[in-house]
Amino acid sequence: MDSLSQLDRITKFRDRLSEGVLIGDGAMGTMLEAAGLAAGSCRELWNIEHPEKVLAVHRAYAEAGADIIETNTFFGGNPIQLAKWGLQGRAQEFNQAAVRLAREAAGERIIVSVSMGPTGEVLAPLGNLDPARAAEAFREQAAAAASAGADAATIETFYALEEIKLAVEAALAAGLPVMATMTFEPSGRTMMGVAPDAAARALTDYGATVVGANCGTGPEPMLAVVEAMLAVTDRPVMAQPNAGVPRLVDGRSVFLETPEAMAEHASRFAGMGVKIIGGCCGTTPEHIRAIARRVRGVR
């Protein structure tokens, strides 16, 4: 049973936001692949079959200075994604286990946020996915995470406003404060053509507590994205870029942005007024440690 009320979650989250810049965590997939996760396999299954490895990643980010830890539920947290592996009936099990593992590493002070990614399909009428089915998938994930004691939801790496709206509504209905971020191409727009200012306005209207950007092509291009967002919203803004653009080395994607370079960009984000700064693909605990040293608590 969920031990936190919606008011408790909102109060806890806003109290933390009042402390100054908060540090997000980094990549989960990068770390699990280094621990032996096979490419293309369901990483959420590791919440059940290899919980010690997932827990080790969370602990590494907590020790590096993260104020917010995201659960291992991005790629397969909703039943539509899990259907790719025939595991659609285990969404509740995976999300609840993920929240428990993150909480074990986080304690009570660090915010545990359920990571909610897109369905991987395009909503009708442009695509074949019934919006009602997508909404139900997001509700199932959010409700499972809330019942296990998540403090918030990070709704991330979305390209379409129509889909992220459904995820935000599901998390809010479950009583979770929402950090909602979209992913932008080198063009400065999402893959579906959404501009940063339009995204910030829409996410604010949908009721997100925090708006922002994640993933993409690295920290430098994200500066212009968050600048456009800061100009049109009164909500805190979040930036979680990749550790640069990956290069293929010996058949593996390698991210070359150093911890020092990420920390320098983090300082620029903080100077602009960005409230939550972390990392996405390729970001490691070493990157988060460098960011935390540079910007923790900056106002």
Q: Give 166-207 pLDDT, tens digit per residue.
A: 999 999 999 999 999 999 999 999 999 999 999 999 999 999
Topology adopted by domain 6-295? TIM Barrel (3.20.20)
Domain ranges of the chain: 6-295
Rg (CA), the chain: 17
Task: Answer whether residue 32 shows pLDDT above 80.
Answer: yes
Question: Tens digit of pLDDT for each residue in 58-106?
Answer: 999 999 999 999 999 999 999 999 999 999 999 999 999 999 999 999 9
**Residue 28: helix, strand or coil by DSSP?**
coil
So what's the pLDDT on residue 251?
65
Answer yes or no: are the C-beta atoms of 192 and 162 closer than 8 Å. Answer: no
At 1, the pLDDT band (50, 70, 90 cuts) reads very low
pLDDT of residue 97: 98
Distance from C-alpha of 218 to C-alpha of 248, rounded to nearest angstrom: 16
pLDDT digits (tens, 9 = 90+) for 235-283: 999 999 999 877 776 666 778 899 999 999 999 999 999 999 999 999 9
* Average pLDDT for 140-148: 98
In this structure, what are the phi and psi dihedrals at residue 241, rounded to the nearest 5 degrees?
A: -80, 160
Report the candidate in 110, 111, 128 with the shortest Cα–Cα distance to residue 119.
128
The span from the first CA to the last CA of the chain, in angstroms, equals: 37
Rounded CA-CA distance 279/252 in Å is: 19
DSSP calls for 168-195? HHHHHHTT--EEEEE---TTSS-TT---
Closest CA to 22 of 152, 130, 198, 206: 152
**Cα–Cα distance between 240 and 25 in angstroms, integer?**
9
Instruction: Report the greatest alpha carbon distance in the chain.
Output: 50
Name the average pLDDT for the chain: 95
Q: Is 165 helix (H, G, I), strand (E, B) or coil?
A: helix
Instruction: Please tell me whether residue 265 adopts helix, strand or coil conformation.
Output: helix
